[in-house]
Amino acid sequence: MAPFRTRRRAAAAVLAAALLVPLTACGKDGGTSDPGAAETSAAKLTVLAAASLTDVFKQAGAAYEKEHPGTRVTFSFAGSQELAAQVRQGAPADALVTADTRTMDGLKGDTGAPTVIARNRLVIATGKGNPKKIGALKDLADTGLKVVLAAPEVPVGRYSEKVLKAQKITVRPVSQEPNVRAVLTKVELGEADAGIVYRTDAVSAPASGKVDAVEIPDAQNAVAQYPAATLKSTRNATAADAFVRWLSGPEAQKILGDAGFQKP
């Protein structure tokens, strides 16, 4: 009986080896044996992104998923200062994109090396048709106007404060909002006569049909920079790195450009 059992074990071993051969070959030819390639081609990514990127990143995310079948990109949008707080509190995420370098620089211990992927400028958002006839930054000093700004800790709030201070213009806002979209909404709803927002929000956001944008001359303006970085806490480092690199590539740059963002 023992020789028979031995022959059965030997046959089973040969069969198992035969089954393993095509799997190994598939790994070589199909590329799935490369852990990095597998992680990049099939992953779930969570990206924390500045509120002013809400619309354009939804489009960019769809384009990225189409180009990388199996990958799913989920975005969490908020003011950059809120995103920084989430990172410090250990929120599960893979990449971060802020609306200023200052916020990103404050997270050096939590991120990889950041790359600026886009730039933006400020405009004055007014009600449709600009009923208060606002034509320049100095008009915002009119105490008869209801002006809303982002809070100073928000990037767009800091940029606004910077340009107003440089022109020696004193504005007493009726409210200070947690992000640029909240500023835009106040103007859109008629709760404010004007507010300072990013050009892309006033021109391309859903509210763009309900507000007008008054341009601020370059000499009086501020340039917002958007850095992107992989978070060190990610469990999908290869895939997160790939997405951050893609944001600087031609397809993402065209999407950003079409939405009104300037080149890095």
Rounded to the nearest integer, the mean pLDDT of the chain is: 87
Nearest by Cα to 192 from 173, 208, 213, 205: 173
21-57 confidence digits (pLDDT tens) = 333 333 333 333 333 344 445 789 999 999 999 999 9
Q: Which CATH number fits domain 35-119+226-258: 3.30.200.20, 3.40.50.2300, 3.30.70.2660, 3.40.190.10?
A: 3.40.190.10
Q: What totals of helices (H) and strands (E) does the chain contain, helices first?
A: 10, 9
Q: What is the pLDDT of residue 210?
A: 86
Q: What is the pLDDT of residue 8?
A: 42
CATH topology of domain 120-223: D-Maltodextrin-Binding Protein; domain 2 (3.40.190)
Domain segments of the chain: what residues? Answer: 35-119+226-258, 120-223
pTM of the model: 0.82
Q: Which residue has the higher pLDDT, 7 or 251?
A: 251
Nearest by Cα to 105 from 92, 118, 96, 117: 96
Phi-psi region of 169 (alpha: psi -120 to 50; beta: other; left: phi over 0): beta
Q: Can 35-119+226-258 and 120-223 be said to share one CATH topology?
A: yes
